[in-house]
Structure formats: structure tokens, C-alpha cells
A and B are shown apart, each in its own frame.
Chain A
């Protein structure tokens, strides 16, 4: 119990004093994860919508595979991305290993199936409602996808936030491809792993509370930005 109490105290102390290292790794956590969520959403939302309105032979199999990929083990993703980006790997010349860009790539791979899958579920229901209308208006696939994404934005924000949640708390993959380098690729989760390794549980837990706080902040900001949960904008 003492450790948890010390952790809360450490978190408050770090936040109140605007600890410079803490600010740096917090901003990097945000930078990496928000970039990953943005890229993933850009790919996954249209893909989920496309999967919902399109009928093709292997559709059922494609959906099953997509759902299964939601459970991709981050450590394996990290290892594969490491091997690809390593100097001895096929993309070694890009010199991306142990940079935030490598961490973003790994997170994109981890959360794209998750976002696409949730988006697909949400849009499928919307499509049942809109089906007759959009068909009778003789819309193109592109128009249908855009309409469904826009009108389903509230559920899709939830999809993106689920992706954010998985990425911000992820440590296995980014530890391998980022290397937890101080002032370069250290983020909140890898810092927590490091402090735990040093046996400094109070600081580790303090960073953990900061991480939870950050996650809350992003979720609130998203709702504020999207103006959801307000009368006029449903």
C-alpha cells in the first residue's frame, strides 16, 4: 500500500513541478501515438467502410482475419519491424531504427486492424439503414463511403480512441524498435519499464498515473473538439 501512496505523491510532484524530463517523454508519447492513430485512421476508416458496403467472395474470411489481427501480439510486431528496419534487414538503408518514426510504424501495424474492425462493425449497422437511400440516389462507392464515415463519425471516433488506448499503453513493440533511448525515443511506457527495473516503484507508478491522466485528457479533448455529447450535434 505504501508504494501506491508513494506513487500518487510522485505523480503529483512531477506534475506540479512541470518536471522537464517528464514533459519531454509525455510529449513524445503523444507525438508517437497521435501520429500512429492519425495514419491508422486514415487507412482503417475507409477500409472498414469499404468492407461494410462491398460484397465479394472472400468477404467473410477477410472480416475474420481482420478481427483476428486485433489480437496481434505487440512484441512480435516489434520484432518483425526491428528485423525489417535493422541495418541488416531490407529497409536498413532508411536508417529508421531507434527513431520515433520506427515506433510509429510499429504502432500503426498494431492498431490499424483494431480501428478497421470497430469501424466496420459500426458502419455495417449504419449501412443497413442507409442502404436503400444511397442506392436509389445512384451514388458511387466513394460517395457512399464518405457519407457513411461522416454520418458515423461518432462511432468512428470511438474506434480511433480504442486505437489510441491500445497504442499509448503499449510497451513491448516500441521498446524493441525504439530502444528506449533517453532524449530520443523514451516514452512514458518504456520509462515505466525502466524505473521498475531500477526498483524505483514510486517513480514508475507516478509515471503510470501521468499516463492514465494523459489518456483521460486526450479522450476529453477529442469529445470537446468533435463537439459530441451536445444537443445540436448529437
Chain B
């Protein structure tokens, strides 16, 4: 009595695994997904192109690794230096800029380190290090982490020498924000993830608007010469859609609490 039932259940389970539609895999940074923009774009992409885009939400470092291994068909990331190396090494066919937003420095509303707007982000970070105010770092080779590192370098500081006030958590944007929120610490975040973050506690934007905080997102299709199995046509189709008018309208119109999150800047 038991066996036929179990067998029937198992058979259904295994059969269900086979089915597949026309899909492509896109590795994207956490900010693209955590901001909620992907939930707006994906259904429209499906409607316009018939493509079922499967998102792998990872940090820029991991996205580049997935691309190098040929496990995804394209990547959408934000770390210009790493992207150019990636394309030069032949893993991607080319780099196409899609949109930008900016990084913001988050910290406790009380502003314990006394950061002031006119000084610039580099001075602000130097001040945090001087007052040994709690700081949370992504430490995961993501685009945000790479930017943070380059800002410390500009300030002439090396995070390796920092004391216990500097917390390298090795986690995604959301998890790191949760940590910062728990510790009442400072953290560098992209604006989109911050605006869409649900556990702000007593944190607020302490610093924004420095040109050094500009954050460009770019799309890179994986090179079929390296990985002949990648889905070249869907990847090209998606690129055309992303630089088109429909994408422009949706990206520019996407706001949270009245704030624009991304600005479209692709050249058609």
C-alpha cells in the first residue's frame, strides 16, 4: 500500500525536473536585485523579447568568476577596473554601460565621528578612522567593496592596519547593512540597496554627492570563443533591450519614496 504511493510521488518529482523554457542566465550584483529594479524589468523583458532571464544575485567578484567559468551567459556588474581586465582577458566580448547610481556613506544619525559634507568622501573616511568609529566593510570583492578599498587608498590608509572598530564581514550588501544596523556602525552602500533596505534602525545617510562616489553599471556578454555553449543570441537580444527606449523609461521612472535610484546612460 505504501510503496505504490511513494513511487508515484517520486516519479512525479523526477518528471517535474526536466521541463525547461527559452532561458538565459545573467549574473547580477546584489544592488541590482536588492533595489527591486529587477522585479520591474524582468517581466517586461519577458513580454518584449520572450526571454526568461534567470538572475544569479552575487557580488561583482563572484559574478566575474561565474563569467570566467562560463556558468552564465552575461553579467551586469559595477566595477570598471575589474570589468576591463575581464574583457581584455577575452572572457567577455565587450563592455556596455547601461546606467549609474551613486554610493552613499551610511552611519548613525547622531553622527558620532562628526562628519561634515563639504570635506569630501576621502576626508570623511579619514575622520572615521581617526575617531575609530565603528565601520562595517563588505570584504567580498564586490563592486562596493572594491570602491571602498580604493577610497581608503586615496586617504592614504590601509584597512589591514585598522583596529577592532573596522569590521570586515565578508557578506552581501543586505547582510552587511544588517550588521551595520546592529552595531550602529558606518558603511558604504549603493543608494539603491540602502533605499530599499527594511532594517534601517537608527542609521541614515551621513555623506553623499562626491564625484568619487559615482557608480556605473555595465553589461558584459560572455565570449563564445572561450565558451562555445553560451547563449550568444539571447545575450545580444537582452543587451539590445537594455539599451533601448523601453528600458530607459522604466529605469529612469523607478523610484522609492520619491527618490530616483538609477539613471539610464547607455549609448544606443
How near does chain A come to B25, taking the closest CB pair, in angstroms?
6
- Asked whether any CB of chain A lies closer than 8 Å to the CB of B69, the reply is yes
* Contact A199 B173, beta carbon cutoff 8 Å: no
* Contact A31 B13, beta carbon cutoff 8 Å: yes
Q: Which of B102-110, B121-129, B192-200, B260-268 contacts A (4 or more CB under 8 A)?
A: B192-200
- Asked whether any CB of chain A lies closer than 8 Å to the CB of B8, the reply is no
* Contact B34 A197, beta carbon cutoff 8 Å: yes
* Contact A199 B71, beta carbon cutoff 8 Å: no
How far is B57's CA from A198's CA once the two chains are assembled, in angstroms?
12
Chain B residue nearest in CB terms to A203: B198
How near does chain B come to A183, taking the closest CB pair, in angstroms?
8
- Asked whether any CB of chain A lies closer than 8 Å to the CB of B2, the reply is yes
Considering only residues 87-131 of chain A, those with a C-beta below 8 Å from chain B are 87-89, 92, 95, 97-101
Residue from the list A89, A97, A199 in contact with B174, Cβ < 8 A = A199
Chain A residue nearest in CB terms to B222: A87
Residue from the list B14, B69, B172, B175 in contact with A86, Cβ < 8 A = B69
How far is B71's CA from A98's CA once the two chains are assembled, in angstroms?
9
How near does chain B come to A39, taking the closest CB pair, in angstroms?
9
How far is B63's CA from A207's CA once the two chains are assembled, in angstroms?
27
Number of interchain pairs (Cβ within 8 Å): 81
Residue from the list A34, A89, A97, A194 in contact with B13, Cβ < 8 A = A34
Say whether, besides A181-B55, A198-B196, A198-B197, A87 and B13 are in contact (CB < 8 Å).
Answer: no
How far is B133's CA from A180's CA once the two chains are assembled, in angstroms?
35
- Asked whether any CB of chain A lies closer than 8 Å to the CB of B142, the reply is no
How many residues belonging to B are interface residues under a CB distance threshold of 8 Å? 35
Considering only residues 46-83 of chain B, those with a C-beta below 8 Å from chain A are 54-57, 68-71
Say whether, besides A34-B13, A199-B198, A87 and B54 are in contact (CB < 8 Å).
Answer: no
Across-interface contacts of B70 in A (CB, < 8 A)? 86-88, 92
Across-interface contacts of A34 in B (CB, < 8 A)? 9-10, 13
Chain B residue nearest in CB terms to A180: B57
Most B CB contacts (10 A, CB to CB) among A100, A196, A226 go to: A196
* Contact A225 B174, beta carbon cutoff 8 Å: no
> What 1/0 mask marks residues of chain A from 65 to 77 whose CB sits below 8 Å from any chain B CB?
0000000000000
- Asked whether any CB of chain B lies closer than 8 Å to the CB of A200, the reply is yes
Across-interface contacts of B17 in A (CB, < 8 A)? 31, 35, 99-101
* Contact B199 A87, beta carbon cutoff 8 Å: no
Considering only residues 172-198 of chain A, those with a C-beta below 8 Å from chain B are 179-184, 194, 196-198
> What 1/0 mask marks residues of chain B from 155 to 184 whose CB sits below 8 Å from any chain A CB?
000000000000000001111011001000
Residue from the list A101, A182, A200 in contact with B198, Cβ < 8 A = A200
- Asked whether any CB of chain A lies closer than 8 Å to the CB of B16, the reply is yes
How near does chain A come to B36, taking the closest CB pair, in angstroms?
9
- Asked whether any CB of chain B lies closer than 8 Å to the CB of A38, the reply is yes
- Asked whether any CB of chain B lies closer than 8 Å to the CB of A47, the reply is no
Chain A residue nearest in CB terms to B54: A181
- Asked whether any CB of chain A lies closer than 8 Å to the CB of B89, the reply is no
How far is B58's CA from A98's CA once the two chains are assembled, in angstroms?
13
* Contact A196 B175, beta carbon cutoff 8 Å: yes
Across-interface contacts of A209 in B (CB, < 8 A)? none
Starting from the known contacts A31-B16, A98-B71, A199-B198, 8 additional A-B residue pairs (CB-CB under 8 Å) come to A34-B9, A35-B17, A87-B227, A87-B229, A88-B68, A98-B56, A101-B17, A225-B5
Can you report 10 A-B residue pairs in the complex whose CB atoms are below 8 A from each other? A31-B16, A35-B13, A86-B70, A87-B229, A88-B70, A182-B55, A184-B23, A184-B54, A199-B199, A227-B2
